[in-house]
Structure 1
Amino acid sequence: MSKTTVAAPAHEPVAVRAGDQADPALTQEFTTAWKRELSQRSDAPSPDACLRAAIVACRPELADRWAATQAADAKRARGVRRVHYLSMEFLMGRALRNAVSVMGLDDALKAALESHAGAASLGEVLEQEPDAALGNGGLGRLAACFLDSFATLELPSFGYGLRYAHGMFAQAIQEGRQVELPDEWLRHGNPWEFVRAELRYPVGFGGVVESSGGHRSWKPAEEIVAQACDFVVPGHATGRVSTLRQWHAQPSRPIDFAMFCRGEHMAAGQHYEAADTLNWVLYPDDSTAAGRQLRLKQEFFLCSASLQDMIARHLREHAEIDTFGRHNVVHLNDTHPALAPAELMRLLLDVYSMGWEEAWAVTTQAVSYTNHTLMPEALETWPVRMFEELLPRHLEIIYEINRRFLDEVGARFPGDTGLIARMSLIDENGERRVRMASLAIVASHKVNGVSALHSKLMVQTIFADFAAMWPQRFLNITNGVTPRRWLMQANPELCELLDRHIGTDWRADLHGLKALGAKAAGKKIGQEFLATKRANKERLAERVRRDFGVTISPDSLFDVQIKRIHEYKRQLLNVLHVVARYQAIVANPGADWVPRTVIFAGKAASAYHAAKLTIQLIHDVARVVNADPRVGNKLKVVFLPNYGVSLAEVILPAADLSEQISTAGTEASGTGNMKFAMNGALTIGTWDGANIEMAEAMGVENMFVFGLRTDAVAKMKSWGYDPRLYAEENFALQQVLDAIGGGVFSWGEPDRYRSLVQPLLHRDPYMLLADFADYVHAQEQVDALYRDPAAWAERALRNIAGMGAFSTDRTIAEYIEHVWADPKAR
């Protein structure tokens, strides 16, 4: 992967008032504000009081930086486009540590806390902050990393999302089962939030479309107001900030006072609840019609409010609406915001009276789209009848886009009716549905995948017809992560080690990690690395003991799989290996076993039965394994509930082994794999997603690669894959399946897991049985290397040395160059 340089910012610079070293004036302002806020509280300086005081003290400086950034962007050079990144998720995590670090206020906050008798410690204050529940997994964390790089690279930009009151859900475990609870992260308010009272836009639903003099206009039956609430993300080594603008739904009219006075209190304000429902939960359960309708309403609410805001800003800076696409990018993070092109067309046609061709030219110039999945079932589609009910004008516009597009397809490929049916924006098979990914592709000037393999498969499989028509439209931009959050803040001890041995240049340009490769075999650096890793493992072990009552040994190999629970991510394959290992230990407890602690974390979607059953199986296996005296410390299994950013910041630095074991061809990229490797964990993984580019960057010999590759998976499925043969030929696998399916881990309910293991013998769509033997063999190689601490440390350091290309700074620089640049400049 080549190094990408970033051009100098094309706007007026924003002065840096603080950075790695504190500005005395800013420190004084912070200390004064902190004392003032704390003195206004009636309670003692509790951790919560100190947290809020620290946040309030940071706000004035962040507000000043926000104002300076927006003023500079308004004067940006001609041809530099402002990027608007639309995403249903932004998994931000905690913000205080990042803010005080960027502004050089670490020492000031520590001194402020120490100056108050009885005040909480810095660690207690930082732990008090709840994770912002605005995302779920990799999609949302990627978006959050992008905001960090937007600011650091000084890119004129906005992130746009929704202000969820309860996030997806808080995960609790009761008797081994996942239980979904509201994530009440806003119960004490959000002191980071800047409410923009002047920025309010109407968003409609339902109603009718009227025609007058050839002009179409939508008259919604329901109207909700979108209120802007800003969350500011400061950049590093710059005075600039990124803005995450979140939309909060509010009713468009007051209560019906006459109805209220008649005693009909709930009916008088039912429209308040209808509006507020949009704010409640990320990804409402879509197993019901009401849940599906709420999802669609949320997605349109995001798109409509964001586009109205963009256009209003554009018209303040430029006189003509027809230059919108020249000055602005509307980037779709997956298909959730794919209604944006239809809404932009409605605004241009109906509100600004453009002609169709002119409006379409503006739209396609502005819109670009990132695809995040290769699985057709994961590509959003919506029933036409739901559009007719909620978005009738948008359905008209989509029909017209489709008519013109299919005319173009027919002209290019005459007589191919099958192609036309496949490429149509409307799926006519069964219930008629709108294909949102197809709409995003047709309306975008660029469509990118997120790893080299994913982008290749994207144009060879799910979007092959579109790629044949527009090959120049498709490209790859491999994902990354921000090293500020995931290395410098999460693992300061490792960063200090790197500074001592290779200098500090890597902090500004992660490619500087390459210098570590020449030193990786050194005895001293290897010992220092292992000492740092052990300290991080002790920290995690103490947290597990404190919070979950399970004792794990820092001397054991920490084997970690933390990600959304899903069949294609194959947590079940990991469990099969755990059970096989358990059975082998019981059969021969005196053997020289490498002690291992297997750690799981992740949420299953509330309606995803197989994923929730996998979580229960993990807990049942842990209950049996951890209590078996024949096993002792040779094997422990732990599930850490309610996985999120702050928990990941503790787990990642402690991990020895990173499980990246999706079926080849199913994981678009992954970013957890990058975070683990940056923190010195070795990867056991399939030849899938960004694992491939990581292996090429660090040397494939430094990764434990196993399993069928994408072409082999496709061939086996086309020839007729029979998973039973693998079970019949592998006695250890047979024992594992019999134990799980026979109730060994579910006393009192022997059939509990038959629905998990029996389908593996008949369908096994994610090839667990085909990959099992090679996975176990790779785990044996892991054990062999872990027995040699010096060799393990060298391999881990070579992993870190190869991670320079996996910063979102590189990712965003490539977006700027290949996707978001002025089309006329390319």
Structure 2
Amino acid sequence: MPKPGAEMALNRNPQSAEARAMERARDLPNTRTATDVDSLRRSFLDHLQFSQGKDEHTATALDRYLALAYGVRDRLMRHWIQTQQAYYLHDAKRVYYLSLEFLMGKALENNLINLGLYDGAREALAGIGVDLSDLFTEEPDAGLGNGGLGRLAACYLDSMATLALPAYGYGIRYEFGIFDQEIRDGWQVERPEEWLRFGNPWEVARPEYEVPVAFYGRTEAYHDEQGRYRVRWVDARHVLGTPYDTPIAGYRNGTVNTLRLWRARASTEFDLADFNRGDYLAAVEEKNLSENISKVLYPNDVTVMGKELRLQQQYFFVACSIHDIVNRHLKMHEGFEGFADKVALQLNDTHPAIAVAELMRVLVDEHGFEWDDAWETCRAVFGYTNHTLLPEALERWAVDLFGRVLPRHLEIILEVNRRFLAGLRDRGVDPAAMARMSLIEEGPVRQVRMANLAVVGSHSVNGVAALHTELLRSDLFKDFDALWPERFNNKTNGVTPRRWMLQANPELARMITEVLGPGWETDLDQLRRLEPLAGDAAFRRRFREVKRQNKELLAAVVQRENGITLDVDSIFDVQVKRIHEYKRQLLDVLHVVAQYLRIKADPSYQPVPRTYLFGGKAAPGYAMAKWHIKLVNAVAEVVNHDLDVRGRIAVVFLKNYRVSLAERIFPAADLSEQISTAGKEASGTGNMKFALNGALTIGTLDGANVEIREEVGAENFFLFGLTVEQVKELRRRGYDPWEYYRQNRELKGVVDAIAGGTFSPGQPRLFQPIVDSLLNGGDPYLCLADFASYVRCQEEVSQAYLDPERWTRMAILNVARMGKFSSDRSIREYAEQIWNVQPVKLE
């Protein structure tokens, strides 16, 4: 029989009076967490008074938001406890999803939807003169992620709970998440994002599960009582990790899973001796150094100190999580026999790859495992998801830095590598392949290759789109694929329809439910039943009305935040995503400039009116990405104030792109820009959200675009650009961007306008860095090579939009054929094909 876990909400000793009382309480009608309108209203008023200490005269909008949030949390708590008890009673195999990013966004509306309380809460508040939608604006975004990686993790948590899988997310409770973005004189300026300023009603601190984490120090060898060689880590500096738990509700199924985020604090708050001597700064130095670890998402790692802090972050959350996972297992089982039958660990990209070495350390150093047994256990529990094809994004750490911060882990990695390379020699692998597969990259600066560690230490390696996985196998990890072809598999990304349709696009969701009935929210393949309605004129008309309403909602946001009035009759041509050269926001801007110059040269030219909407954040240390933001804003400044083009084109940079803003953008978009250089984007998830909400895609055959086009039909997708094979061939022949510049008069005019100061009056050479990157820097992402094809394709877009009935049919078919891209499908594949974990449905 399994032993009861320390995290159980009650003592299972049958003699315990507390246990008997709790059992009786569960059998009684639960008025505290009842879900009728009167109970919801009573709960809100109670929390306003007893949790916030306010009445109707003193309560602020923030107080009202918090009061409702605490009332919703009360209802989550009951399900949360029942869910965890069910996992213990079933002795279920559990999934642990390790991710340095969780871009959760706002929780209140999502929880109301998933718990089935949205309509009741709205009615309860309306009865006392409070508008529910006003409270949503008071909640800050939980921006604990940088982009697609973190948002994918959030979607996956939603799906794991909706599928009733015993699953936990593990990450860092950053005090400051992704920065708030301001635009000053067209430039990005970063401000701290204080999402915890007024507290977080959704989290529960668990200081009783605090974990000590070691850094620095040294190792020393010894022999244990049986004479076996062992190593201990000594003279280390310790930091404490405190867990904060957030409930993750499944969609109307009673399951509530856990996201556990770790906060760092000093093992000693301050040195009293230093304090008494009057050295106040020294007294709290240890506290400040320790707490920096969970202070900010992704410190700028251009400096050595920034790199060191980032390595500390990665090890900190991994060490805390592995300790927690092992501890939970040992509370249920005697020893580690069958550990892999009860534990599945998924590494979300290379950031948590140090978990392989950490679990080895725990098993060998702390639990006395023999090396081979420990390695077999590690390989059995770990799965690795790769999210990038960019070599520079595959993390490497200088051996010297790594060994100074984590001396024991460097020893373990070197020993793993020694044994791995010896095995390759025995198999006759050639030295060049061995050098590529080694966990250590030899060079002027020796580096630890974290992606190779993740591949070697996992039983499963997956890409996140069919094309991405194919390129992993044929290029990035081709040597590993030759060695272990059975280890590689594809799990195309997905998005949750609860957040990205029910919450973001309630009118479209309501319209779909009216014709399909309920159930599609958890079985997105049912959207296929909409296909015949693409031929129904009344349905198309209503679909257009919903799209227009969504455009008006976004226009109101843009007016409030940017002070710009949008033409809702124009094409909303949207590119929102992290600013990166390979995503080619620059190509989009080149097309805008081309349109502007064409109108200026030919006043009779009347293009289909367009509003070009850009949004996204550049990493603080990414200079070229910041130049691209500046260029977008400079073009917008000129275009939007030029009377010659007014009413024909407009350009807006949507500042501070975030989840809650994305929820307004995706439903409003007409055209989705997915224009990365072929072979560079792993998958994308924004492409899925746009199409699911009725936007048409203009894109290259890159990432999940390939599968989206296959699903929605080539005739409902605007394709342009070089393919992966053509890109390789062009590079093989030798790509000369000057050739494209000289041969294409329109392209030359665009580049010359940017270079000559058309968009930087008074500073004609302001954008020379961008021009140089295109012409003299080799145009690394082939913007000039794809320009002509892109412009032609945009003409096709305009022609299609001139026929609203055709455009609407295409949009409806996009919605109807996006069932594959539900995160429920993705997670079901992970569960069945990688984790071997079964649902635990509550009775």
TM over 0.5: yes
**Partner residue of 1:151?**
161
Alignment deviations for residues 592-636 of structure 1 (CA, whole Å, 9 cap, x no partner)? 320000000000000101000000000000000000000011000
Give the one of 563, 569, 574 matched to 1:549: 563
SS of equivalent residue, structure 1 residue 321: coil
C-alpha deviation, 1:713, in angstroms: 0.2
**Partner residue of 2:214?**
204
Alignment deviations for residues 750-787 of structure 1 (CA, whole Å, 9 cap, x no partner)? 11111112221240111111100010011000000101
8 Å CA contact 2:494–2:825 kept in 1: the answer is yes
Report matched runs for 1:497-512 at 5 Å: 497-512=511-526
Give the one of 239, 246, 254 matched to 1:239: 254
8 Å CA contact 1:37–1:53 kept in 2: the answer is no
Q: What letter is aligned with 1:90?
A: F
**Partner residue of 1:343?**
358
**Partner residue of 1:103?**
115
**Partner residue of 1:11?**
none
Q: What letter is aligned with 1:777?
A: R
Which shows bigger deviation, 333-342 or 540-549?
A: 540-549
Matched, 1:326 2:341: yes
SS of equivalent residue, structure 1 residue 783: helix
**Partner residue of 1:431?**
445
Q: Using the alignment, how far apart are the partners of 1:204 and 1:573 within structure 2?
A: 47
Q: What letter is aligned with 2:323?
A: Q
Q: What letter is aligned with 1:748?
A: G
| C-alpha RMSD of matched pairs (Å) | 1.8
8 Å CA contact 2:44–2:67 kept in 1: the answer is no
Which shows bigger deviation, 677-686 or 588-597?
A: 588-597
**Partner residue of 1:284?**
299
C-alpha deviation, 1:588, in angstroms: 2.2
SS of equivalent residue, structure 1 residue 155: coil
Matched, 1:793 2:805: no
**Partner residue of 2:678?**
664
Q: Using the alignment, how far apart are the partners of 1:146 and 1:457 within structure 2?
A: 24
Q: Using the alignment, how far apart are the partners of 1:502 and 1:51 within structure 2?
A: 34
Matched, 1:540 2:554: yes
Matched, 1:400 2:415: yes
Q: Using the alignment, how far apart are the partners of 2:367 and 2:422 within structure 1?
A: 26
Matched, 1:188 2:187: no
Matched, 1:81 2:93: yes
**Partner residue of 1:10?**
none
Q: Using the alignment, how far apart are the partners of 1:217 and 1:668 within structure 2?
A: 40
**Partner residue of 1:61?**
75
Report matched runs for 1:110-259 at 5 Å: 110-116=122-128, 120-213=130-223, 214-259=229-274
Task: Normalising by structure 2, report the TM-score.
Answer: 0.93
Q: Using the alignment, how far apart are the partners of 1:435 and 1:221 within structure 2?
A: 24
Matched, 1:756 2:770: yes
CA 1:145/1:39 → structure 2, altered by over 3 Å: closer, same or farther? closer
Give the one of 402, 409, 415 matched to 1:387: 402
CA 1:82/1:716 → structure 2, altered by over 3 Å: closer, same or farther? same
8 Å CA contact 1:91–1:135 kept in 2: the answer is yes
SS of equivalent residue, structure 1 residue 243: strand
Report matched runs for 1:580-595 at 5 Å: 580-595=594-609
C-alpha deviation, 1:15, in angstroms: 14
Alignment deviations for residues 796-815 of structure 1 (CA, whole Å, 9 cap, x no partner)? 00100110010000000000
**Partner residue of 1:652?**
666
SS of equivalent residue, structure 2 residue 318: helix
Report matched runs for 1:449-528 at 5 Å: 449-528=463-542
C-alpha deviation, 1:385, in angstroms: 0.3
C-alpha deviation, 1:17, in angstroms: 9.6
Q: What letter is aligned with 1:82?
A: R
Q: What letter is aligned with 1:94?
A: K
Q: What letter is aligned with 2:507?
A: E
Which shows bigger deviation, 91-100 or 43-52?
A: 43-52
8 Å CA contact 2:211–2:242 kept in 1: the answer is yes
Q: Using the alignment, how far apart are the partners of 2:643 and 2:136 within structure 1?
A: 39
C-alpha deviation, 1:116, in angstroms: 3.9
C-alpha deviation, 1:81, in angstroms: 2.4
Report matched runs for 1:358-397 at 5 Å: 358-397=373-412
Q: Using the alignment, how far apart are the partners of 1:729 and 1:751 within structure 2?
A: 23
Alignment deviations for residues 190-210 of structure 1 (CA, whole Å, 9 cap, x no partner)? 111111121101001000111
C-alpha deviation, 1:497, in angstroms: 1.6
Q: Using the alignment, how far apart are the partners of 1:468 and 1:580 within structure 2?
A: 47
**Partner residue of 1:72?**
86
Alignment deviations for residues 167-199 of structure 1 (CA, whole Å, 9 cap, x no partner)? 121111111000011001111111111111211
8 Å CA contact 2:530–2:812 kept in 1: the answer is yes
**Partner residue of 2:690?**
676
**Partner residue of 1:630?**
644
C-alpha deviation, 1:221, in angstroms: 2.4
8 Å CA contact 1:322–1:362 kept in 2: the answer is no
8 Å CA contact 1:335–1:437 kept in 2: the answer is yes
Q: Using the alignment, how far apart are the partners of 1:599 and 1:753 within structure 2?
A: 21
C-alpha deviation, 1:31, in angstroms: 4.2
Q: Using the alignment, how far apart are the partners of 2:45 and 2:78 within structure 1?
A: 17
Report matched runs for 1:697-716 at 5 Å: 697-716=711-730
CA 1:511/1:726 → structure 2, altered by over 3 Å: closer, same or farther? same
C-alpha deviation, 1:589, in angstroms: 2.8
SS of equivalent residue, structure 2 residue 388: coil
Task: Normalising by structure 1, report the TM-score.
Answer: 0.95
Give the one of 434, 458, 464 matched to 1:444: 458
Q: What letter is aligned with 1:124?
A: D
Matched, 1:766 2:776: no
Q: Using the alignment, how far apart are the partners of 2:751 and 2:459 within structure 1?
A: 49
8 Å CA contact 1:38–1:50 kept in 2: the answer is no
SS of equivalent residue, structure 1 residue 133: strand
Q: Using the alignment, how far apart are the partners of 2:719 and 2:521 within structure 1?
A: 29
Q: Using the alignment, how far apart are the partners of 2:519 and 2:800 within structure 1?
A: 31
8 Å CA contact 1:601–1:642 kept in 2: the answer is yes
CA 1:538/1:822 → structure 2, altered by over 3 Å: closer, same or farther? closer
Q: Using the alignment, how far apart are the partners of 1:434 and 1:67 within structure 2?
A: 42
Q: What letter is aligned with 2:125?
A: L
Q: Using the alignment, how far apart are the partners of 1:529 and 1:810 within structure 2?
A: 26
C-alpha deviation, 1:62, in angstroms: 1.5
**Partner residue of 1:357?**
372
8 Å CA contact 2:37–2:121 kept in 1: the answer is no
8 Å CA contact 2:610–2:649 kept in 1: the answer is yes
Matched, 1:41 2:29: no
CA 1:759/1:40 → structure 2, altered by over 3 Å: closer, same or farther? closer
**Partner residue of 1:302?**
317
C-alpha deviation, 1:104, in angstroms: 2.7
SS of equivalent residue, structure 2 residue 209: strand
C-alpha deviation, 1:44, in angstroms: 2.4
C-alpha deviation, 1:105, in angstroms: 2.4
**Partner residue of 1:610?**
624
SS of equivalent residue, structure 1 residue 707: coil
Which shows bigger deviation, 808-817 or 219-228?
A: 219-228
Report matched runs for 1:252-267 at 5 Å: 252-267=267-282
C-alpha deviation, 1:569, in angstroms: 0.1
SS of equivalent residue, structure 2 residue 344: strand
Q: What letter is aligned with 1:461?
A: D
Q: Using the alignment, how far apart are the partners of 1:672 and 1:367 within structure 2?
A: 28
C-alpha deviation, 1:508, in angstroms: 2.7
C-alpha deviation, 1:740, in angstroms: 0.5
Q: Using the alignment, how far apart are the partners of 2:337 and 2:304 within structure 1?
A: 39
